[in-house]
Chain A
Amino acid sequence: MMKGIRTRLVVYFGLILLLIVLLLEGLFYWAVHSYYFGTATEALVTRTTTFTNFINKYTTSYSLKDKARYILENVSNQEYAKVEVLDIDGRVILNSYGFQTGEIIQTPDVIDALKGQSGLHIGKNPKTKERIIAVSNPLLFANEYIGVLRYTISAEPLYHAVNRIALYGAGVGTGVVILAFALSLLIAKRIVDPIKDLTKAATQMAKGNFTTRATKRYDDEVGTLADAFNYMAAEIGKNEKLKNDFISSVSHELRTPLTSIKGWGETLISGGLDEPEETMLGLEVISKETDRLIGLVEELLDFSKFQSGEMKLCQERMDIRDVLDDLHLQFAIRSQEKQVDLHLELPSSPLLVMGDPNRLKQVFVNLLDNAFKFTPLGGSITVSAEASEDRAIITVTDTGEGIDAEDLPHITRKFYKGRSKQSGSGLGLAICKEIIQLHAGQFHVSSSVDHGTSITVDLPIEKDKKG
């Protein structure tokens, strides 16, 4: 995989660049070739045509032989091209070296010139295989074509120059391709290395080492992935700790009532049933502690139902005021015992919601239970309900010790118990939140330490069918 990305990067970059370099090299060769041959050919054509026009204009009465002599005597000493005069059959009757070779030339330029056109030929000399550029123009006598004036230069130096320049170009191209390969290797390394690190970290985490952290090298996608990985590891670690805390706290919660049940049981066994008063007390304690155990187990069952998604609501139209009224009565005794004021503020009109009365009651029991748990002597607890637009808002406010700001976001999470070492499974608020959310409601906690906590539940109002 790691090798895969690197190889692919190098190959793709290399191929793309190779293609571009080849294309540019081709264009470059074509341009240089056109420039060299175009310039040389144009110069040659210009010179030949000018000289032929001159000869045709001023030596009209000369025979071909006389024209040839005139041409030989008037060709510049600096003339670099080979100049030939050909007769009507293409036979060389004089060249600029002073020779009459008698050789018959039938290249396309000569054939064109014999037809009266200006002929240009770039090709091989059929005899010597040398590449040449030849330009031919017809010579006139009494308006008839009697011969050809032909200029020839060697194309070899031009090919040589063009090839040399193209070779330089190819060298540069090769350099660029090699550079691109090196750079792509470097880039591949920069991409692959963080992924490698991440893989290592993930392997460590899979082995259960959640303290491992992936290093974030660059602030890019892989960097973000590393962050996400680290976050995930941290969360898993936290959950692990929560789970362990839960097990120890649940064990503790379960053990406390069991200890007292066992204690009283042994007392009753050893003491016999002589003292009916003491026996009654013992049995009451056993029954109460058993209730506590049942409540604890109920909570765990509820929680496991939520976890598996098996929680079903039996919803019906109900007035939330009835539930709160019931609770007020239910907690009246406890409020007297703890000397905590419990106020109930309800609107005069019904607050109709669609809900499961038992579950909603469970929520508010839990909330009030918590409020009583954390509100000291002489404090007060207010339960208020009001309708705001289409929401029914129920607030439970206490003047208790409050919740630390850092715990606040976590208190509705399962098994979270915060800094308080109060008894409980740590599932109460988590279950409340789940129930409210199943009712399409919202659960909100605000708190300030030493001043109290306020928990707001808002539920959608079920519109009166008439209204």
Chain B
Amino acid sequence: MKKAWLYSAVLLAALLGGCGFTDTPNELMRAPTADGDQKSINQAVMQFLPPGSQLTVPLHPSEASAVTLQDLTGDGNPEVVAFFKTEKTDYEIGVLVLSQKQGNWAKLSSFTGIGSELDYVTFEDLNGDQLPEMLIGLGGGENLNKELSVYSITQGQVQELIKQPYSVMAVGDLTGNGLSDLALVLHDHNNLTSKAEMYGAKDGKLAKLTELPLEGAINGYEQAIIGKASPTQNGLFIEAGLGAHSASTELLVWDEGKLHNPLAKIDGEMDLTFKPYSLYSEDINGDGIIEIGVTTQPPGTDDLSMAEIPWVSSYFQWDQMSGLKPIEEHYQNFLMGYDFRIPDKWEGKYTITSSDQDPNSMLTRFFFYADNGKTKAELLTLQTVPTKEWAKFESMLKQKQVPYIVLKEATKQVLVAIQPQVTPNLGKSAKQEYKSLLLTPDEVRKHYKPVTMPM
């Protein structure tokens, strides 16, 4: 028995001592094999990249990535398109296209363009040949103009179809014929001229369809999107910066082969889409139609400075004529992290005061507002409390029997909605109206959503 122990001890010692027959844990660390496809594609891409190159991600649109699988040749097998920067120079962006040949990735093409950043990448069929073209926009940096190249692959060769400068661009069906169009908006900073160009399929080729001069006395363009302007018509929404922070939105619609601006400013009248602070157009209510955002000032805040005014985000839809119809109003506070949709019944009868200077207790109050401010009564308060003080604050609310609704418990702060406790001293009809404007806790929750951080 003793001998048996001796043998086992010796064997175990040999086993433990000479761990040479297997790898150390650090040598065994490797990426999951399950994403084998992506991994092998990545390896293939890395293999064909010039030494010292790094993949780079396009700035726009948000869903674009450094490596994309896209069938550009129509053979049923996707090609790999990868974007990279080389070590040699900061002013060149490379494009690598790989295609699959007998199960292996082979280089189809590799080329570079001049530019310090990859502004825009998308794959769309613009010339109507059912094959997507590569749209690659390169830029020189912030507020500088960019250049878009459209490439197609024919017989294994990459061909540049057009090359055009732009400030902002959008791709989408603007004409309503089911094909994607390309809209380029160019601002010439020196001559203060602007134009919008439309490209699309014309006789099976990509060609300029039309162009429209735009207001040139602006600061620059920030964004362009193509989407539904009305249930029946698509439009191009262009966000233009006017001054330091003021902005306006231009809506262009397709009208019998021409671009047309139905909301064009008529001399002597106010620009309908002028906004003191920039607010991008978007489909805010999810009905599929793009709303134009305008920042508006709540009543009774004329005495405040521009920065202090609690700007309300008002969203309008084009009325298919030359006007706008109001859709929704929101009060968005990025510091407090919420987006409160103004209840429809409040419209025109409310005002807001907001104090967000003290980060420990930021406060927004909504008031019933009538008779030019002679009648003013609190409807709702939104307040943020630091998480570590929340327990104390909550017990205080409970003690005072204040009705409150917790909207968001984040790691750093708690957002709470506090409802008024006492009915204010108002006239009889005003009191009735005030009461009708009060919200139930459910309504408060329904109108709240967390604000989306800029991506």
Contact A39 B22 (CB under 8 A): no
Q: Which among B28, B46, B65, B337 is the interface contact of A144 at CB below 8 angstroms?
A: B337
Contact A98 B28 (CB under 8 A): no
Q: CA separation between A94 and B455, bound complex, in Å?
A: 13
List 15 A-B pairs, Cβ < 8 Å. Answer: A35-B25, A43-B29, A77-B46, A81-B31, A97-B38, A98-B42, A98-B65, A98-B67, A99-B66, A128-B34, A157-B28, A161-B25, A168-B15, A175-B7, A175-B11
Contact B45 A13 (CB under 8 A): no
Contact string against B for A residues 81-117, beta-carbon threshold 8 Å, 1 for contact and 0 otherwise: 1100001100001111111111000000000000110
Contact A179 B7 (CB under 8 A): yes
Q: CA separation between A401 and B361, bound complex, in Å?
A: 133
Contact B4 A180 (CB under 8 A): yes
* A183 contacts across to B, CB distance below 8 A: 1, 3-4
Interface residues of A (CB under 8 A from B): 13, 17, 21, 24, 28, 35-40, 43-44, 63-65, 68-69, 72-73, 77, 80-82, 87-88, 93-102, 115-116, 125, 127-128, 130, 132, 141, 143-146, 152-154, 156-158, 160-161, 164-165, 168-169, 172-173, 175-176, 179-180, 183-184, 187
Q: Which 8 A-B pairs have the closest CB atoms?
A: A98-B67, A128-B34, A98-B66, A100-B65, A97-B42, A39-B25, A69-B57, A176-B8
Contact B30 A179 (CB under 8 A): no
Contact A65 B455 (CB under 8 A): yes
- Nearest A residue to B62 via CB reads A65
- Nearest B residue to A128 via CB reads B34
* B33 contacts across to A, CB distance below 8 A: 130, 154, 156
* A35 contacts across to B, CB distance below 8 A: 25
Give the B interface residue count (CB, 8 A): 50
CB proximity to A under 8 Å, residues B417-455: 453-455
Contact A180 B42 (CB under 8 A): no
Q: Which among B30, B56, B65 is the interface contact of A157 at CB below 8 angstroms?
A: B30
* A24 contacts across to B, CB distance below 8 A: 12
Contact B55 A98 (CB under 8 A): yes
- Nearest A residue to B65 via CB reads A100
Q: CA separation between A156 and B8, bound complex, in Å?
A: 30
CB proximity to A under 8 Å, residues B60-100: 62-68, 82, 85
Q: CA separation between A141 and B62, bound complex, in Å?
A: 17
Contact B28 A36 (CB under 8 A): yes
* A165 contacts across to B, CB distance below 8 A: 15, 19, 22
Contact B11 A39 (CB under 8 A): no
Contact A69 B56 (CB under 8 A): yes
Contact A80 B30 (CB under 8 A): yes
B412 at the interface (CB under 8 A from A): yes
* B45 contacts across to A, CB distance below 8 A: 98
- Nearest A residue to B7 via CB reads A179
Q: Which among A44, A65, A127, A176 is the interface contact of B7 at CB below 8 angstroms?
A: A176
* A164 contacts across to B, CB distance below 8 A: 22
Min Cβ gap A103→B in Å is: 10
Contact A116 B453 (CB under 8 A): no
- Nearest B residue to A153 via CB reads B29
* A21 contacts across to B, CB distance below 8 A: 8
